[in-house]
Chains A and B, each alone.
Chain A
Amino acid sequence: MNRLLALVLVAGRRLAGGLLLLVGATFLIYFTIRSAPGDAIDAITPMGTPPEVKEKLAADFGLDQEPLAGYVTWLGRSAHGDFGESLVTVTGEEVMTAALPAFRNTLLLSFAALLVCQVLATLLALVLGEPSSRQQVLTGALYFFTAAPSFVAAIFFSQALNAGIRHFVDTNGYEPPDWYPIPIDAKSIMQYVFAGLMLIAGDGLFMDMFNTVRAEISAVRNAQFIAAIRAKGASTAPHTLRNLVVPFISAFAARLPLVLGSVVIVEYFFTLDGAGYLLLEASKQRDFPIVVGLSVLFTLSIIVMNLVADVVRAAIDPREVARNG
């Protein structure tokens, strides 16, 4: 009971901290908007926006008020999920109606890619064991290739794929452009699988994860309590696993921001129906409400991920409660 209470307290503190971070982050986003050169409303709307739309937008974003009062107005509306209406990308639609389904796709893709990446990194770490000079050719090569930006990896991948397909598959006279990832059908799940693979293979994510995972596994395996358990003749596996859960969750949560950045470019490359694609399209056309709404969603998801990771860690490991309680 006592432990449960302590856990609730930790969760409450984390939640309060998360809310504070959210307020701070939205404040930063809002003042980035306000810092626009010249008349902010001209800077953030597409050319030729009718004046009444501009006025409504200025009222929505509190641009007609003092900065601080404007921020409070905007935050109040945003807290109700009202981020205004899209200007061009999906004209007239509520920002959240357009953004939430896309963002769900993006989150699913990022989480799946990150999870698979962690599993693969763990498998490699288990196979290789402790670092030795004989592995260095392999790890060196992996370092080199996985450091490639995900979009470069994606180009190489689709070029190879297309060349392969031309050789082995009868495309029925249809020749897709070399750089374009197959299949063309936007609804196909394969697009998402390819995008996930590129997230794992690019931007240095894999080796970064591998190093962390291997160090954590090695730290637990070489811990004295494991030696003691082995000396008593008990099985070490359950204890090893239990002690790895906490660092594994940390490693996962810490890399989410990086993946949420890479996913923007990868989604655009594969033209996926996701938040990254929507963000770049909206940004290109200066569809400002969408850009701001998505920025807030991205930030929120990072804060929530850290919050959940903190609470789960505290629930699993009593030492976390003692340290932070």
Chain B
Amino acid sequence: MGKFARLGFWLSGLIVLAVIALGCIAPLVPYEPADAVSYDDALVSPSLAHLMGTDEQGRDIAIRLVKGTEAFFLPGLMAAAISIVLGGLTGALTGYATGFFRTAVLGALQLLDTLPRLVFIILVCTIRDPSVMLIAFVAGILFIPTVATVIRRKVESLASEDYILAHIAHGFSPVRVLLHHILWLQCWPILVRQAAFVFGYVLFVETGLSYLGDYGVQEPTPSWGNMVAQVRSLPSDAPWPWLIPAAAIVLTISGFLAFGNLAARRGEEAVR
């Protein structure tokens, strides 16, 4: 790993840590959107009183930025958990099993994979009460095939390795070898990469839909997406109310993607 990649790893790790920290403290911050409105303080530029300035309704942007993490943090974690747990297990099974069972599971995975993700999420939102949790749940399910495929390839390439055969010859049960020695010890870098990717995807969908304004988080509850949507009515000499959340979205998605990739690369170097 080069010097630059190491720098990227630490920087993106810092972003991931910061987002996790914000996501954890956000529920503890008392915030009542209606009380925060104060038209006298509208569009105050960043200062000591308002670190990131205020928006058109005079609401402090820094607090809304922190509270906005609530919109995607738990849903993102849930989607990542669903896809890596179920995707990891089905991937390991299909990499190991043979015969009809394998064919059937592979077929089901291929089926899930042909559904266009965002279109299917919108379909579900049309039918059911849209919420970010629902969106994240569907996203998590739809990412199972992606995770399962990379895990299956890894398991297939490992299954004939001498040391795995030695484990089995040693009398370890295949389930233990599969779950512990292969999935846990060998595949964790892949799972980290995929988890970060799915988390980033949920953030992308949540902010995108909140920006469009129908299925995401609704005003006055803050989401980075509906904060960016204020761009439509802002004067051009006061860009901070949309610029700051937009920058936060780009930083977070880039940070998570980069961290997933670089942590996985470090992990793969260490595993080998």
B122 within 8 A of A: yes
Contact assessment for B116 and A265 in the assembled complex, using a CB-CB cutoff below 8 Å: no
Please, which residues of chain A bring their CB within 8 A of the CB of B232?
177, 179
B258 within 8 A of A: yes
In the bound complex, how far is the Cα of B239 from the Cα of A101, in angstroms? 38
Please, which residues of chain B bring their CB within 8 A of the CB of A225?
none
Contact assessment for A265 and B208 in the assembled complex, using a CB-CB cutoff below 8 Å: yes
- Choose among B123, B246, B253 the residue that contacts A291 (Cβ–Cβ < 8 A): B123
Q: Known contacts A147-B257, A156-B246; decide if A25 and B115 are in contact (CB<8 Å).
A: yes
B249 within 8 A of A: yes
- Choose among B115, B212, B258 the residue that contacts A268 (Cβ–Cβ < 8 A): B212
B208 closest partner in A (C-beta) = A265
B26 within 8 A of A: no
B250 closest partner in A (C-beta) = A148
B214-266 residues at the A interface, CB under 8 angstroms: 214-215, 228, 231-232, 234, 236, 239, 242, 246, 249-250, 253-254, 257-258
Q: Known contacts A28-B115, A36-B128, A260-B116; decide if A147 and B254 are in contact (CB<8 Å).
A: yes
A308 within 8 A of B: no
In the bound complex, how far is the Cα of B142 from the Cα of A76, in angstroms? 27
B246 closest partner in A (C-beta) = A152
Question: By DSSP majority rule, is chain B's interface helix, strand, loop, or mixed?
Answer: helix
A158 closest partner in B (C-beta) = B231
Contact assessment for A148 and B118 in the assembled complex, using a CB-CB cutoff below 8 Å: no
- Choose among A149, A159, A178, A288 the residue that contacts B207 (Cβ–Cβ < 8 A): A149
Q: Chain B's nearest CB lies how many Å from the CB of A138?
A: 11
* A158-188 contact mask (Cβ, 8 Å, vs B): 1 or 0: 0100010000000000000111000000000
In the bound complex, how far is the Cα of B106 from the Cα of A21, in angstroms? 12
Please, which residues of chain A bring their CB within 8 A of the CB of B253?
147-149, 204
Q: What are 27 A-B contacts defined by CB distance under 8 Å?
A: A20-B107, A21-B114, A28-B112, A32-B127, A33-B127, A36-B127, A37-B129, A147-B200, A148-B253, A149-B207, A151-B207, A152-B207, A159-B231, A163-B236, A179-B231, A204-B253, A257-B113, A257-B116, A261-B119, A265-B208, A265-B212, A283-B214, A284-B214, A288-B126, A291-B123, A295-B119, A299-B115
The 4 closest A-B CB pairs, nearest first, are A261-B118, A136-B4, A147-B254, A24-B111
